[in-house]
């Protein structure tokens, strides 16, 4: 009997940017996906330090289709939307932005908000960027804890950050931060680029591993499984062996923006073959 369940695998709207949100939801139903991760980016949602779209309509549309939000991503690859942004005003705005993300997560019924460390200047010491990052994350984590939301920290690739890039970086970050509302998540592409394995992450973090970005890669790319080099069956078997109870975000890249539905179909076909006894 397989211990991983279909409802642990959440479809994401990020690669549906060129389509209406309703089309994304309908395609999740067509793919047999029950759970959702909300990506709070345009054109589907307005989220910044000052404004939040009303999430109630999204929750209603999902519920009407028998779908449930389980996790949320606040787009985080711009200077004004990252935890290690320099300057008091930028830090204030970043904290307000992520607190708004927590509010949306709570409204949608999500238990997980995906985050990363952000990044610092290359002409400053790494410790300066890390200090800004942890100070900001601690503020958001205090608020998330009061809302019943867990922050799940992922590592990034070297082209994305100069702060938390590896298992050891993530371990040191959490040990220094020491906040009960902050756990870790595996991004398969990031750990693949770092030359790490799922086993190593479970051995390091155990039950503090709360979420996973599940995608194929070569080693980068956020691809449909079968279009990269990652061994899906062995990876999922490892999650089962460690009795993983968390969720998976099936994060696909921009190469699928023109036809996200067929990408999700192919991805779920590969995953569902593993789930079937």
Ordered per-residue pLDDT tens for the chain, 277 residues: 568 999 999 999 999 999 999 999 999 999 999 999 999 999 999 999 999 999 999 999 999 999 999 999 998 776 668 999 888 999 999 999 999 999 999 999 999 999 999 998 888 899 999 999 999 999 999 999 999 999 999 999 999 999 999 999 999 999 999 999 999 999 999 999 999 999 999 999 999 999 999 999 999 999 999 999 999 999 999 999 999 999 999 989 999 999 999 999 999 999 998 886 5
Distance spanning both ends of the chain, measured CA to CA: 6
Partners of 182 in the beta sheet?
A: 151
Superfamily holding 6-275: Divalent-metal-dependent TIM barrel enzymes (3.20.20.150)
Residue 14 vs residues 37, 44, 87, 112: alpha-carbon distances, Å: 9, 9, 29, 17
* H/E segment holding residue 37: strand 35-39
Compute the distance between CA of residue 198 and CA of residue 242 in angstroms, rounded to an integer.
Answer: 10
State the pLDDT at residue 276: 67
The conformation of residue 240, written as its DSSP 8-state character, comes to H
State the pLDDT at residue 121: 87
State the pLDDT at residue 277: 52
Residue 134 vs residues 2, 82, 172, 222: alpha-carbon distances, Å: 38, 11, 11, 27
Compute the distance between CA of residue 176 and CA of residue 236 in angstroms, rounded to an integer.
Answer: 30
State the pLDDT at residue 275: 85
How much is the pTM? 0.95
């Amino acid at each position: 009997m397989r211990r991983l369940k279909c409802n642990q695998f959440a479809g994401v709207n990020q690669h549906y940017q060129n389509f209406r949100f309703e089309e994304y939801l309908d395609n999740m139903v067509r793919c047999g996906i029950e759970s959702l991760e909300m990506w709070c980016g345009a054109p589907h949602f307005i989220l910044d330090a000052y404004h939040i779209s009303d999430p109630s309509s999204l929750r209603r549309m999902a519920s009407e289709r028998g779908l449930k939000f389980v996790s949320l991503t606040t787009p985080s690859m711009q200077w004004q939307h990252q935890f290690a942004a320099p300057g008091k005003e930028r830090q204030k705005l970043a904290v307000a932005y992520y607190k708004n993300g927590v509010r949306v997560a709570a409204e949608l019924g999500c238990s997980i908000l995906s985050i990363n460390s952000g990044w610092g200047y290359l002409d400053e010491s790494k410790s300066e960027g890390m200090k800004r990052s942890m100070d900001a994350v601690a503020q958001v984590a205090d608020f998330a804890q009061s809302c019943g939301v867990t922050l799940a920290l992922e590592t990034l690739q070297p082209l994305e950050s100069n702060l938390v890039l590896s298992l050891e970086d993530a371990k040191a970050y959490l040990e220094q931060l020491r906040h009960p509302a902050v756990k870790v998540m595996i991004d398969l592409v990031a750990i693949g680029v770092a030359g790490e394995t799922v086993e190593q992450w479970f051995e390091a973090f155990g039950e503090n591993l709360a979420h996973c970005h599940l995608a194929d890669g070569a080693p980068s790319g956020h691809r449909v499984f079968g279009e990269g080099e990652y061994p899906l069956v062995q990876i999922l078997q490892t999650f089962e062996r460690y009795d993983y109870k968390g969720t998976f975000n099936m994060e696909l890249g921009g190469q699928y923006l023109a036809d996200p539905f067929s990408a999700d179909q192919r991805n779920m076909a590969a995953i569902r073959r593993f789930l079937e006894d």
